[in-house]
Structure 1
């Protein structure tokens, strides 16, 4: 009688992709699907549903699995017994959960007020972490100098080579 073996039960899958319990992977996949669904709903309601932006989002989701594979390989090399890959997956689970929550807030769904306030602290809707980092490191945003000027003095001297 032929035996059916699922891909996730093969030794190759376990060594290369994920060597632990598949519960975390399944949870991540479910949250990714929920994030995609809430993201599409949010874009549809806002009237800015773009296929290019969606494809970029799907590619980012695939990249998450590439990072998990890399974490699994590193985990096996340094013999952390699954600690690194579990931590990586839990990070992405938290990230997906936060994204779903943000989408729910923007869709106007009822969410607990305390969580909504905490989210407002993280992102006020006008700027993002990426924007804040750009502003922090831009030369036009230097509060120490008037007008956002940046003065840098660099003096380059050739090294003396005494071997010649």
Structure 2
């Protein structure tokens, strides 16, 4: 009998350490992740560019989201923020997954409201500018380092 109680206590402590917030938010995030994967695969099939490497990167990205949620829960408990940080983190990823689903649907030809389409274009352009800036910065740094190395 004691063994069962100890295991339950350890499991409960582990559960609290990993995620102490409302599980409904976490379940909602998981549902949105599943929908994002489904719409992403549908979009890739429609565009005839279903690549296993790209899919693998997308799946690993989902795993990293859960790692960040766990880390935010740990930080939240250390700083005694009463769940504020972990809820904020989950809401961020819920919004991110929702936007990704809408973007996938719009690229498959599903009509979306004009305001949302305009906001998605602004986000996409900003995202592309950031990617280009990072790519240029790292390319320039590696080229400069290559020039300064003795041959």
The reply to whether TM is greater than 0.5 is yes
1:129 CA drift (Å):
4.4
Kindly report which structure 2 residues correspond to 1:6-155, keeping only aligned pairs within 5 A, or say none: 10-124=11-125, 128-134=128-134, 137=137
1:99 shift after superposition: 0.6
Separation in 2, partners of 1:108, 1:57: 22
TM (norm. structure 1) is 0.72
Gaps of 5+ in 2: 141-151
Q: Which residue of the partner structure matches residue 150 of structure 1?
A: none
**Of the two structures, which has the highest relative contact order with CA contacts closer than 8 Å and spacing of 6 or more?**
2
- Give the secondary-structure state (helix, strand or coil) at the position aligned to 1:128: helix
- Please give the TM-score of this superposition, normalised by the length of structure 2: 0.78
Separation in structure 2 between the aligned mates of residue 129 and residue 93 of structure 1, nearest angstrom: 24
Distance 1:14 1:93 in 2: 21
Go from structure 1 to structure 2 and tell me whether the alpha carbon gap of 1:138 and 1:60 turns closer, same or farther (over 3 Å shift). Answer: closer
Shift of 1:65: 0.5
CA contact (8 A) 1:17 1:72 kept: yes
Aligned mates of 1:128, 1:32 — CA distance in 2:
22
Q: What stretches of structure 1 move > 4 A for 4+ residues in a row?
A: 135-140
SS in 2 for 1:54: helix
In 1, Cα distance between equivalents of 2:75 and 2:110: 40
CA distance in 2, matches of 1:87, 1:32: 17
Deviations along 1:22-59, whole A, 9 cap, x unmatched? 11101100000000000000100110101121111111
**For the residues of structure 2 that align with 1:53 and 1:136, how far apart are their CA atoms?**
22
Decide which structure has greater helix share: 2
**Unpaired segments ≥5 residues, structure 1:** 141-164
